Structure 1
């Protein structure tokens, strides 16, 4: 639980929990994973957290959101997160957006937009598709510069290492 002023605005609360998601992203980065982090919050308490673990777990579905949602459901022993908020450092992809809808999360807060694969407003908008049985309130752009910088610098570092090794194609 965060020690926030009881009079904190929703924006201040979102900033504080996004900072926790950023810390998760930094854990991923320390493991040479793509630095994306997520936390699930219910009643002001973190009930699930996750960071990308695709390489570590040798699993293309081991995204931060998926891990955080699974942890949250396990923590409260329910398959739906109907009163929780998911905070994630980058706009979720279609797989994660589908999981958000299936978990019936009412609210999603993300940092940076993903112009290539974002499924919460950038490329697709699965979480607000009226054809589905559940729609999600979306708040984007929370700590967006910090979140985007984490990703950008990570991939720049990888490209630089490849240039130095003469292996640009890998």
Structure 2
């Protein structure tokens, strides 16, 4: 590798970390409103185009993951659902739904922080991005600021368990309709979205 190639690689890694820090800020926004702290940033030609954070609880929309929210905003700004010259930075490995949306939008690259061993679709459970039968292949970079991204999620769930451990209601309890006598339980070990 030449010195020039090494310098370009260092610049890219530095840029990736800077964008992931913005995604972490978005994840903190999610936490602030009681959502699982996952954040995303769409970058177009080296500039932040759109951001998003997890919102499925507040919006009553199971598709309102951070990635989807950021993709929707970016698509509106570019007036095109194809985001060919865009990259996505997200604090948690995309699930299958988000991976599908990322590929459908034709993103050039996805960069994620923490792995998701329960529903990760970029290598942890399945690797949809490596599926050769699909017509678009998005480049994947994993593990950027992984410890910081993972710690944010761990702290969020530890706090939730602590609240319930003191006999207080689960933050989502009001969102659960009457279960008709069925014992409804929340599993903190379930997928964090």
Common fold by TM > 0.5: yes
Aligned residue for 2:27? 25
Aligned residue for 2:63? 61
Asked whether the equivalents of residues 100 and 127 of structure 1 are also in contact (C-alpha less than 8 Å), the reply is no
| SS of alignment partner, residue 133 of structure 1 | coil
- Structure 1 or 2, whichever has the larger Rg, is 2
Asked whether the equivalents of residues 49 and 67 of structure 1 are also in contact (C-alpha less than 8 Å), the reply is yes
Distance 1:140 1:166 in 2: 37
Aligned residue for 1:102? 104
RMSD: 1.6
Asked whether the equivalents of residues 25 and 35 of structure 1 are also in contact (C-alpha less than 8 Å), the reply is yes
CA apart distance, 1:163: 1.3
TM-score (norm 2): 0.82
4+ residue runs of structure 1 moved beyond 3 angstroms?
Answer: 166-170
| Cα displacement string for residues 52-77 of structure 1 (whole angstroms, at most 9, x for unaligned residues) | 00111011110000000011111111
TM-score (norm 1): 0.93
Give unpaired runs (5+ residues) of structure 2: 1-7, 171-184, 187-193
| Cα displacement string for residues 78-106 of structure 1 (whole angstroms, at most 9, x for unaligned residues) | 11011110000000000000000100111
Give unpaired runs (5+ residues) of structure 1: 1-6
| SS of alignment partner, residue 90 of structure 2 | strand
Aligned residue for 1:80? 82
